[in-house]
Amino acid sequence: MSELQGALRDSAVFNLTGAVVMVVDDSPFSMEVTLQALQGFGIRVKYAVKSAAEAREILLVHPVDLLVVDCEMAGTNGHELVHWLRRSGLEPNAYVPILMTASHVRRSRVAEARDCGANFLVTKPFSASAVLERVLWVARDNRPFLEAGDYSGPDRRLVPSKPLKQNERREDMIKLAKFNAEKAAAELNEEASS
């Protein structure tokens, strides 16, 4: 993305009133707090459901623009729902931005949210401004969507990385380093023969 495109994207005004939003939370109190936070800045939640099973039924038929899912739910939990959706092949829902919410956040919980394919984890209790900040962050997020092994979701690396000098294990980075080395050698050979 060029600097101009990046600057325009950062300064963009987002009109979220037409967004189709689904909130999945089995706690009536948490559901109400989430709905109030979203409605506070103009997002009308079209689907407010109490279980992953209800969410699946809707997601199979109706496209959504944003999914807000609680991690801890009875039956199928939020992580399982997000993992299913990312691997479902449902277009466009498999690629929808997903915010997960959780009351008790440990490092392992953050890793679970990241590894199931969620875009971001928001800790409860949260303010409306914190939710808005994350919604806008997800709207501006331009990380590529990856499908690798058992993972399907946005690139988990928030910062682009370069190949390591030694002990690199990522196959794509090894290939890139090899390609760059071969290209540099070919250019040197071409200069030497000129």
Query: What superfamily would CATH give domain 3-154?
Result: Response regulator (3.40.50.2300)
Strand, helix or coil for residue 143: coil
* Number of residues written out for the chain: 194
- As a whole number of angstroms, the distance between CA 36 and CA 45 comes to 10
pLDDT of residue 1: 44
Q: What is the mean pLDDT of residues 32-42?
A: 89
Fill in the DSSP letter of residue 150: T
Residues whose CB falls within 8 Å of the CB of residue 84, separated by 6 or more in sequence, listed in order: 52, 56, 76
N- to C-terminal Cα distance for the chain? 36
Tens digit of each residue's pLDDT (9 = 90 or more) over 161-177: 665 566 666 666 677 77
pLDDT one-digit tens code per residue, 136-152: 888 877 777 778 777 77
The pLDDT value recorded for residue 48 is 96
Domain regions of the chain by residue span: 3-154, 161-194
Lowest mean pLDDT of 52-61, 71-80, 94-103, 104-113, name the range: 104-113
Q: Report CA dihedral (19, 53, 60, 128) to the nearest 10 degrees.
A: 10
DSSP state of 158: S
Bigger pLDDT: 142 vs 8:
142
pLDDT mean over 119-143: 84
What is the average pLDDT value for the chain, to the nearest integer?
82
pLDDT of residue 7: 45
